[in-house]
Amino acid sequence: MSENIVEKEIEVKDMSFFYGEKEALKNVTLNVEKNKITSLIGPSGCGKTTLLRCFNRMHDLYKGNRYTGEIIFKNQNILDKNIDITKLRTDIGMVFQKPTPFPMSIFDNVAYGLRLKGIKNKTELHNRVEHVLKKSALWNEVADRLSSSAMGLSGGQQQRLCLARTLAPEPDVVLFDEPTSALDPISTKKIEELMQELRGSITMLIVTHNMQQAARISDRTAFMYMGELVEEDATDIMFTYPKKQMTEEYITGKFG
């Protein structure tokens, strides 16, 4: 079976993370499989967001944060101080919990990352914006108002716009931090469907507190507890025969 020839996109090796003195991640080791969806689950405060934000070095924004260990991506340790962070963030995009439209037109929002990449040609920009908006199932809703402000969209549309904006520069990996927790069920479904369509061409890591969602959409699931990565496996195994007792207790709702 081809299942055995898994390709690794990201390798987390014995990584710890500190907010100042507080150790929020303890010796995490994890392989993220290429072009699959991996869910990060675990009780609130266990470090899911913290782990996710290591992959695009978002923690660098704040003083006193510190990493040890390695995260290997494209044969490089991305925790290395000398790495090109701008390039890393073009390769690894992120969608946040609350929609974060920029104060500009719908078109300019999606074109933002493309322009950053140096694409200036109007036709090319337009084609790529159209393409990615179609891919994000937003084109029909916004085609006639590309030049109006993105702030006028509904919450669900804004979140799909943010996904389109993230996808536009064609990243290899997209990180999602509870992307649907602020959305209604219909918008949630749309985002989940989009993720399903992207599966196979993009590596996705999603933090979710919703176990049904993890079971529904992901290929792999990782369970975290108090800053440690307890267990990671194929989603169906994790939700039926987890190896660790703690995972089972969490999944069956004994704590959380």
Partner 1 sequence: MDLRLIRKIKGYIMLFLSTLAALIGVVLLFAILYKVIMSGLDGLNLNLFIKDEAPAFLQASGGLRHAFIGQLLITVIASLIGIPIGILGGIYLSEYAHNTKTGRFLSSLADVSISIPTIIIGTFIYSILVRPLGHFNGWAGAAALAVILIPIVMRTTEESLKLIPWQLREAALALGTPMYKVIKDIVIKSALTGIFTGVSLAVARIAGETAPLLFTSFSNNTLSFNMNEPVASLTVSIFTYASSAFENWISLAWAAALVITVFILITNIILKQIMKKRSY
Residues in contact with ligand ADP by CB under 6 A are 19, 22, 24, 42, 44-50
Smallest distance, Mg ion to C-beta of residue 33, A: 22
Encode 43-111 in three state secondary structure: CCCCCHHHHHCCCCCHHHHCCCEEEEEEEEECCEECCCCCCCHHHHHHHEEEECCCCCCCCCEHHHHHH
113 binds, among ligand ADP, partner 1, Mg ion, none (CB under 5 to 8 A by kind): partner 1
CA distances from 219 to 132, 199, 215, 222, 233 (A): 24, 9, 8, 10, 9
Q: Which of 1, 2, 22, 61 forms a contact with partner 1 (CB under 8 A)?
A: 61
Check: CB of residue 137 under 8 Å from CB of residue 195.
no
18 binds, among partner 1, ligand ADP, Mg ion, none (CB under 5 to 8 A by kind): none
Smallest distance, Mg ion to C-beta of residue 122, A: 40
Q: Which of 137, 235, 141, 140 is nearest to 193 (CA)?
A: 137
Window contacting partner 1 (CB under 8 A); options: 74-82, 85-93, 152-160, 193-201: 85-93
Q: What are residue 77's DSSP bridge partners?
A: 72
Would you tell me how many other CB atoms lie within 10 Å of the CB of residue 98? 14
Q: Which of 89, 128, 190, 220 forms a contact with partner 1 (CB under 8 A)?
A: 89
The answer to whether residue 156 forms part of the interface with partner 1 (CB under 8 A) is no
Residues 123-152 that bind partner 1 (CB under 8 A): none
| Residue whose CB is less far from partner 1, 93 or 242 | 93
Q: In whole angstroms, give the CA distance from residue 69 to residue 172.
A: 22
| Residue whose CB is less far from ligand ADP, 9 or 177 | 177
Smallest distance, partner 1 to C-beta of residue 157, A: 16
46 binds, among ligand ADP, Mg ion, partner 1, none (CB under 5 to 8 A by kind): ligand ADP
Q: Which of 123, 119, 108 is nearest to 164 (CA)?
A: 108
Q: How many residues bind Mg ion (CB under 5 A)?
A: 1
Residues 35-94 that bind Mg ion (CB under 5 A): 49
Sheet (strand 173-177) strand order? 92-95, 173-177, 203-207, 37-41, 220-225, 228-234
Residues 208-237 that bind partner 1 (CB under 8 A): none
Specify the DSSP class assigned to residue 193. Answer: H
- Footprint of partner 1 on this chain (CB under 8 A)? 56, 58, 61, 63, 85-90, 93-94, 96-98, 100, 102-104, 112-113, 116, 162, 165-166, 169
